[in-house]
Chain A
Amino acid sequence: MTEPGGTPLLELRGVTKTYGGVQALADVGFAIQPATVHALVGENGAGKSTLVKIVTGVIHPDDGELLIDGAPTRVGDPQAAHRLGIVAMYQEPTVFPDLTVAENVFAGRHPRSGVRTVDWRALRIEASRILDELGVDFGPDTPVRGLGVADRQLLEIAKALSSSARLLIMDEPTAALSPNEVENLFATVRRLRERGVAIVFISHRLEEVTLIADTVTILRDGRHVATQPAAELSHGAIVRLMVGRSLDALFPKEEAEIGDVVFRAGGLSRGGVFSKVSFELRRGEIVGLAGFVGSGRTEVARSIFGIDPLDTGRLWIEGEEFRPRSPRAALRRGLAYLPEDRLHQGLVQPMSVGKNVSMAVLPELTPGGFLRPRRERALARRFMNQLRIKATSPAQIVRSLSGGNQQKVVLSKWLAADPKILILDEPTHGVDVGTKADVHRTISHLAAQGLTILLISSELLEVLGMSDRILVMREGRLVAEIGRAEATQERVIAAAAGVAEAAA
């Protein structure tokens, strides 16, 4: 598309970023040429999102520099990025539910008429034009509150198109789109490219990458692995570069006796989120639930635990039907769920370890209506020993603990309720390597004691290393079930990305 010698629109040199001890990006450097589609691929946690945030000025690198048109540039904040013509479409749509589609597209930049008033006619016409270009089936006056995830994603694209971007970053723009909509999107991307816009395209679907991208950059564990013309890379080559490692990292999986079916889900559906999900879990089994972010893994878990309502589907626990009305009801039936966003959903930060651990079992600690602090402390000490939580005492405030130890406190909280089935959502997300192994040991140990574990994780190695069986989700559907013996990184990625396995 461009002569290789031209000045890149954007060049990164030695970009490094560390988050509380975890290296998100290490010495990353590559260049993006104008009028190209540049795919950015890598496993979850490879550093793609961090990179996008740095380029759009949301966060600042610890080290390294950004060159725009060959000149070192500091991108201070998102507004500065806008001024430089860098526009990002975020993975999590940032829409205004109370406003109409047209107003969302032009939020903060309403077209104006004569006396600096909002020109509603121009607003609607401009918005209509962009929506038609995208080929969507909602109009400018539609209230955004009624739009689903896919439509909101399209709205994000419309927003990005409405601003005069030179560099457009699309973070998983197709994750929730139908094939038809993807086609329209790609036509738009190609049109933009002809106008000289550079597009950074982030996607887990490899056939899309090879279809649309001119250049592919691969990141792994926060490091830059390769930047090559897309034509020179096969799917298999991309997967190998993304994964890079072999499964020799140590996962202390204890042998557990696998017993009867304790949990069964039949035809679970929730409109627009997931559909017809059926599976079984056995006693003492660790079942991995793999799939990319947005594939519906977490949503299934939330519905099973009674947080979001199911549209259809039935659940059985130990042969008896169970209706997930509320987390409270789920807990009573022996289900426990450790949420993904532990800092917000799982812990009360300003409270002590003891109070957090006892939260789900307070009635048992309060005979006669008064809390017995001694019992609470004893409970906390038991788990502090069992899970090796590094805290000075049950009275220590949770906020002051490290991420890994906080994770163990959440785990203790749910274990205190003595569950039969434990759903873990990204249990080691953002914890350091040492703690990770510790958490893995704990999980394995719990399974060996007869607990059933559903392990949701974006980290392939973790899923492969820990699971007896792996379920793979893609776009809200369960697309594969792979036994421990047959499971390989390539197979799981291929299933999650929807590429033919032969290619990988």
Chain B
Amino acid sequence: MNFPLRRTSAQSLASAVFRLREIGILFALGAAVAFFAIRAPNFLSTGNWQGIAQNVAIVIVVGVGETLVVLTRNIDLSVGSIVGLTAYLSAATFAHHTGASVALVALIAIAIGFGLGLVNGLLVAVARVPAIIATLATLAIYRGVDVQITGGGNITAYQLPDRFLKLASTKPVGVPTLAWIAAGVAIVGAAAVRWAPWSRDFYAIGSNPEAARFAGIPVGRRVITAFAISGALAGLGGFLFASRFPTVDAVAAKGFELDVITAVVIGGVNVFGGSGTMLGVVLGALLVATIQDGFTLLRISEFWRLFFNGFAIVVAVTIDALVTRRLQEALRRRRAEALAARHLEAGT
């Protein structure tokens, strides 16, 4: 009763399609690099690459958390506000306590982000507010708190200790510290979604929430966890943001959620939940950052930068929808043919 051939063909078709996404981004990335290398003279310089790495680092850190939320068929729009708020609080802490430990301030930022994410999770899982509305509301609320705390003022690089600013300026082995941190977060995130039982539940919940409930998965608790982690990583992102852009005011990281969600969606995380990889998200973030850097070097206007962001989301989601439908149809046909063949063999 075994048909190893058929088994592997259906399997490889599906996994090929999933890998296709990452290969597709790599191709796009290659094309973008080639294009800018020819058009923009400074593009291939080490300094420019280090700049891209620094820009993309914070998007990746926050994107890893956002991915967990999107996997559960939810979305977190408030990450930009959490980054802004924790960036200001981190900077303000250093400004008032110049001797504060860098690790301690980072932990405080993460803890604050965690708390804000927890609020999002509770709104979605317990109060049953749709995620898009709940986090739209907290996007406004957290930003409002930020405005209130800053009181219209800002903190400048002069008020911050060198130890903290070095985080963004040092480049061990030629790679900025920020990028090392982002790589660490991405690797831990990738390992978690592969090997942590609770994070496999994220995929199940996003794939079929009702079935997840029937299977005895604590759906509410997992959704809260995803939002809390997203908040915590946004908190870490805020801390890093303050060291990268040390002049922090109430509009810091405004609209940052757009960059994060673009990276996640282009990276192939299905907006209807249930599928996506951390590698895809990292590649998605790199693609977006590379193209934006190229645009800046070529002095292409802000309009085109935003246009590209939006356009890329539309293209990515459209391709996703088409590929999913085609794949399902192809797999269904393949099975139907196999069954028909078997019926013939059995003579029914």
Binding site for B on A (CB under 8 A): 78-79, 82, 90, 94-99, 103, 107-110, 112, 116-118, 135-139, 141-143, 145-148, 150-151, 159, 178-180, 184, 271-272
- Is there contact, CB below 8 Å, between B200 and A146? no
**What are 20 A-B contacts defined by CB distance under 8 Å?**
A96-B211, A96-B274, A97-B207, A98-B275, A99-B204, A99-B274, A103-B204, A109-B216, A117-B196, A136-B1, A137-B1, A137-B6, A137-B7, A141-B7, A145-B14, A145-B324, A148-B335, A151-B335, A178-B339, A272-B336
CB distance from B187 to the nearest CB of A (A): 15
Per-residue CB proximity of B313-343 to A under 8 Å, as 1/0? 0000000000010011011111110110011
Binding site for A on B (CB under 8 A): 1-4, 6-7, 10-11, 13-15, 194-197, 200-201, 203-204, 206-208, 210-217, 270, 273-275, 324, 327-328, 330-336, 338-339, 342-343, 346, 348
Given A98-B203, A99-B203, A117-B195, CB of A146 within 8 Å of CB of B14? yes
Q: Tell me, in angstroms, the Cα distance from A396 to B7 when the chains sit together.
A: 56
> Mostly helix, strand, loop or mixed at chain A's interface?
loop
Chain B residues with Cβ below 8 Å from A109 are: 215-216
- Is there contact, CB below 8 Å, between B201 and A271? no
- Is there contact, CB below 8 Å, between B332 and A148? yes
Residue of B nearest to A159 (CB): B215
- Is there contact, CB below 8 Å, between A98 and B206? yes
Q: Tell me, in angstroms, the Cα distance from A272 to B273 when the chains sit together.
A: 27
Given A97-B207, A137-B6, A138-B10, CB of A178 within 8 Å of CB of B196? no
- Is there contact, CB below 8 Å, between A148 and B10? no
Given A78-B216, A96-B207, A107-B204, CB of A118 within 8 Å of CB of B1? no
CB distance from A13 to the nearest CB of B (A): 26
- Is there contact, CB below 8 Å, between A79 and B216? yes
- Which of A78, A117, A146 is in CB contact (< 8 Å) with B214? A78
- Is there contact, CB below 8 Å, between B328 and A146? yes
- Is there contact, CB below 8 Å, between A107 and B197? no
- Which of B14, B196, B204 is in CB contact (< 8 Å) with A143? B14
- Which of B3, B14, B196, B215 is in CB contact (< 8 Å) with A108? B215
Chain A residues with Cβ below 8 Å from B13 are: 146
Chain A residues with Cβ below 8 Å from B212 are: 96, 107-108
Chain A residues with Cβ below 8 Å from B331 are: 143, 145-147
- Is there contact, CB below 8 Å, between B11 and A94? no
Chain B residues with Cβ below 8 Å from A79 are: 216
Chain B residues with Cβ below 8 Å from A141 are: 7, 11
Q: Tell me, in angstroms, the Cα distance from A108 to B214 when the chains sit together.
A: 10
- Is there contact, CB below 8 Å, between A95 and B213? no
Q: Tell me, in angstroms, the Cα distance from A495 to B10 when the chains sit together.
A: 36
Chain B residues with Cβ below 8 Å from A151 are: 335
Q: Tell me, in angstroms, the Cα distance from A103 to B327 when the chains sit together.
A: 20
Q: Tell me, in angstroms, the Cα distance from A142 to B195 when the chains sit together.
A: 19
CB distance from A66 to the nearest CB of B (A): 19
Q: Tell me, in angstroms, the Cα distance from A82 to B218 when the chains sit together.
A: 13
Q: Tell me, in angstroms, the Cα distance from A252 to B346 when the chains sit together.
A: 48
- Is there contact, CB below 8 Å, between B332 and A146? yes
Q: Tell me, in angstroms, the Cα distance from A141 to B15 when the chains sit together.
A: 10
Chain A residues with Cβ below 8 Å from B14 are: 143, 145-146
CB distance from A417 to the nearest CB of B (A): 29
Give the top 7 A-B pairs by smallest Cβ distance, nearest first.
A146-B331, A98-B274, A94-B211, A271-B336, A96-B207, A117-B195, A143-B14
Given A95-B211, A271-B333, A272-B335, CB of A143 within 8 Å of CB of B197? no
Residue of B nearest to A82 (CB): B216
Chain B residues with Cβ below 8 Å from A82 are: 216
Given A97-B207, A137-B7, A178-B343, CB of A110 within 8 Å of CB of B200? yes
CB distance from A224 to the nearest CB of B (A): 27
Given A96-B203, A116-B197, A146-B332, CB of A139 within 8 Å of CB of B274? no
CB distance from B264 to the nearest CB of A (A): 16
Chain A residues with Cβ below 8 Å from B207 are: 96-99
CB distance from B4 to the nearest CB of A (A): 8
Q: Tell me, in angstroms, the Cα distance from A272 to B216 when the chains sit together.
A: 30
- Is there contact, CB below 8 Å, between A178 and B348? yes
Q: Tell me, in angstroms, the Cα distance from A420 to B11 when the chains sit together.
A: 47
- Which of A94, A97, A184 is in CB contact (< 8 Å) with B210? A94
Chain B residues with Cβ below 8 Å from A180 are: 342, 346
- Which of A96, A135, A142 is in CB contact (< 8 Å) with B10? A142
Q: Tell me, in angstroms, the Cα distance from A212 to B210 when the chains sit together.
A: 31
- Which of A110, A145, A147, A178 is in CB contact (< 8 Å) with B197? A110
Chain B residues with Cβ below 8 Å from A110 are: 197, 200
Chain A residues with Cβ below 8 Å from B275 are: 98
Q: Tell me, in angstroms, the Cα distance from A379 to B343 when the chains sit together.
A: 53
Residue of B nearest to A123 (CB): B200
Chain A residues with Cβ below 8 Å from B346 are: 178-180
Q: Tell me, in angstroms, the Cα distance from A256 to B3 when the chains sit together.
A: 56
- Is there contact, CB below 8 Å, between A138 and B214? no
- Is there contact, CB below 8 Å, between A146 and B335? yes
- Is there contact, CB below 8 Å, between A148 and B336? yes
Q: Tell me, in angstroms, the Cα distance from A108 to B339 when the chains sit together.
A: 31
Q: Tell me, in angstroms, the Cα distance from A109 to B200 when the chains sit together.
A: 10
Residue of A nearest to B336 (CB): A271
Residue of B nearest to A96 (CB): B207
Chain B residues with Cβ below 8 Å from A272 are: 332, 335-336, 339
Chain A residues with Cβ below 8 Å from B338 are: 137
Chain B residues with Cβ below 8 Å from A96 are: 203-204, 207-208, 211-212, 274
- Is there contact, CB below 8 Å, between A118 and B196? yes
CB distance from A276 to the nearest CB of B (A): 13
Q: Tell me, in angstroms, the Cα distance from A82 to B346 when the chains sit together.
A: 38
- Is there contact, CB below 8 Å, between B195 and A118? yes
Q: Tell me, in angstroms, the Cα distance from A342 to B275 when the chains sit together.
A: 32
- Is there contact, CB below 8 Å, between B7 and A90? no
Q: Which residue, of B195, B215, B335, B339, has the highest number of chain A Cβ atoms within 10 A?
A: B215
Q: Tell me, in angstroms, the Cα distance from A467 to B203 when the chains sit together.
A: 48
Q: Tell me, in angstroms, the Cα distance from A115 to B10 when the chains sit together.
A: 33
CB distance from A352 to the nearest CB of B (A): 25
Chain B residues with Cβ below 8 Å from A271 are: 332-333, 336
New A-B contacts (10) at CB < 8 Å, excluding given A142-B7, A145-B324: A94-B211, A96-B207, A96-B208, A103-B203, A137-B1, A137-B338, A139-B7, A141-B7, A179-B346, A179-B348
Q: Tell me, in angstroms, the Cα distance from A139 to B7 when the chains sit together.
A: 6
CB distance from B104 to the nearest CB of A (A): 28
- Is there contact, CB below 8 Å, between A107 and B328? no
